[in-house]
Amino acid sequence: MRYPLEPDHEDMHRLAQDVLDRAIAFVDRLAEHPASLAGVPEGEIRSLQRRLLQPPPEEPEKLAGILDRVEEASLAAVETAGPSYLAYIPGGGLFASALADFYARATNRYVGMSATAPGLVALEWSIVRWLADIVGMPAQGGGVLFSGGSIANFAAVVAARERLGEAIADGTVYLTEEAHQSVGKAVRLAGLPQGALRVVPCAKDLRMDVGALADMVAQDRQAGRRPFLVVAAAGTTNTGVIDPLPAVADVAEREGLWFHVDAAYGGFFLLTKRGRAALRGIEQADSVTLDPHKSLFAPYGTGALVVRDLEALRAAHAVSGHYLQDLGEQEVPDFADLGPELTRELRGLRIWLPLHLYGVAAFRDALDEKLDLAQHAYLRLAAEPALELPWSPTLSIVALRVRAADPNTADALTRAVLERVNAGRRVFLSSTVVEGRFTLRLAILAHRSHQGRVDEAVDAIIAAARTVTEG
């Protein structure tokens, strides 16, 4: 009897080799891929989608044909793994992590609870502890790897909400307009009413006005509300600015608020000397979101939450079921008790393997390179009279606008620059709105983005800015 779902030794080799060859060829060419889909006719994309929307066949197909389709679909995309990706928050995805994932999925161990794979859970816990140590959490701290920063922020809000007990209706949360939208979403998903959110104003430097925070908390208390959580950003998505963490920590302590830091973008800059100085105060947080799929270059699907007191996370998430009664207590925590997932993949290996293979110093150097590149790009762009750079980069995001006396004209010209640069398809940039103004961003974070491509982006921005302002 032959079981087609169980390839034999030879078949496994052949299948794996074919997939590996395709993947390596793809990665080899990342730098040559068009940066985005700019200018690709809509009809072409629709036709590709229609072909790929077909249901699976009853009978087997050849692997080569299957991979052709996967490759075509992978190419028809924003090049998020290559050096050209300077939009949103890049990460890149380490090749070594992909191999770790292959191993993890081929061996398919259950790591929701420690008893079923104690060694692998310890391996993943070593990464969680390393993250907690980077942040400066105490020994009783810990955390869990999630699929991304949004889920990590959600778990943090849920842990903080626990302090309110059952009566959450008057619970109040403080953040700034520069906070990532996933924080507001987490508050909503955690069952708090829309009125729970308080937007604290920012100072001119886009950092939380901590005096205003203190006043708002006091007023809310007087009005009978229950302030319980303040969320600071450690690297905002818009401009990479870091809220004044020590001052926010002081207010949080005085007022008995849970202090969460969303360091999804900026967190791993803690590995560098400059980043550590900029992020001072993060060690006072009750919880910190870190996103290895951003500033640790892991593949998408890798986020983390670390907390000062693991019991707080456990109190919010642990449940028991009779069907789990054989599993007992373990020295290393059960991840299922620390977040919403019971069955979960082994996420730690895709971080653990590259860290062991390359060493932490390689990551520190890569992040230092991004800080240098951001300064380099900033200085070059700031020297261009057609451009206005209102903020020097705190970390590795450079924000800019076209200079014009009238803000509406500046917005339109900045948008035109974005369109021109992206139309070249050598780099891909994105925009945002800061203080109500259309703002272009250069987000330098992918491990494959080096000076050559950053200079290309800077050249393209300057050329476009001159054209649109002269035209």
Ligand X SMILES: Cc1ncc(COP(=O)(O)O)c(C=O)c1O
C-alpha closest to that of 456 among 363, 380, 358, 398: 380
Q: What is the largest CA-CA distance in the chain?
A: 79
Identity of the residue, 242 or 440, whose beta carbon is nearer to ligand X in the bound complex: 242
Candidate list 124, 209, 255, 262; residue touching ligand X; CB under 6 A: 262
> Is residue 192 within 8 Å of residue 247, measured between CB atoms?
no
Q: How far apart are CA 262 and CA 229, in angstroms?
A: 13
CB of 265 to ligand X, least distance (A): 4
Distant-in-sequence, close-in-space partners of 180: CB < 8 Å, separation ≥ 6: 149, 153, 233, 236, 237, 262, 264
CB of 180 to ligand X, least distance (A): 3
CB of 234 to ligand X, least distance (A): 8
444 residue type, one letter: I
Candidate list 79, 291, 334, 388; residue touching ligand X; CB under 6 A: 291
123 scored as a contact of ligand X (CB under 6 A): no
> Is residue 270 within 8 Å of residue 251, measured between CB atoms?
no
Q: How far apart are CA 446 and CA 35, in angstroms?
A: 13
The residues that bridge with 1 in the sheet, in sequence order, are none
Identity of the residue, 148 or 393, whose beta carbon is nearer to ligand X in the bound complex: 148
Q: How far apart are CA 239 and CA 444, in angstroms?
A: 11
Q: Would you give the DSSP letter of residue 334?
A: P
CB of 291 to ligand X, least distance (A): 5
149 scored as a contact of ligand X (CB under 6 A): yes
Candidate list 30, 81, 87, 89; residue touching ligand X; CB under 6 A: 89
Identity of the residue, 237 or 394, whose beta carbon is nearer to ligand X in the bound complex: 237
Q: Which stretch binds ligand X (CB under 6 A): 133-141, 143-151, 367-375, 421-429?
A: 143-151
CB of 231 to ligand X, least distance (A): 10
Candidate list 84, 150, 394, 469; residue touching ligand X; CB under 6 A: 150
Q: Which stretch binds ligand X (CB under 6 A): 64-72, 91-99, 142-150, 154-162?
A: 142-150
205 residue type, one letter: D
Distant-in-sequence, close-in-space partners of 373: CB < 8 Å, separation ≥ 6: 396, 444, 449, 450, 451, 454
Candidate list 84, 97, 172, 237; residue touching ligand X; CB under 6 A: 237
How far lies 246's CA from each of 1, 130, 228, 278, 285, in Å? 67, 22, 18, 11, 9
Q: Which stretch binds ligand X (CB under 6 A): 146-154, 323-331, 390-398, 438-446?
A: 146-154
82 scored as a contact of ligand X (CB under 6 A): no
Q: Which stretch binds ligand X (CB under 6 A): 91-99, 148-156, 341-349, 401-409?
A: 148-156
Angle between helices 451-470 and 360-382 (to 10 degrees): 20
Give me 5's structure tokens: 């779902």
180 scored as a contact of ligand X (CB under 6 A): yes
Q: Which stretch binds ligand X (CB under 6 A): 6-14, 115-123, 147-155, 426-434?
A: 147-155
Interface residues with ligand X (CB under 6 A) are: 89, 148-150, 153, 180, 182, 233, 237, 262, 264-265, 291, 303
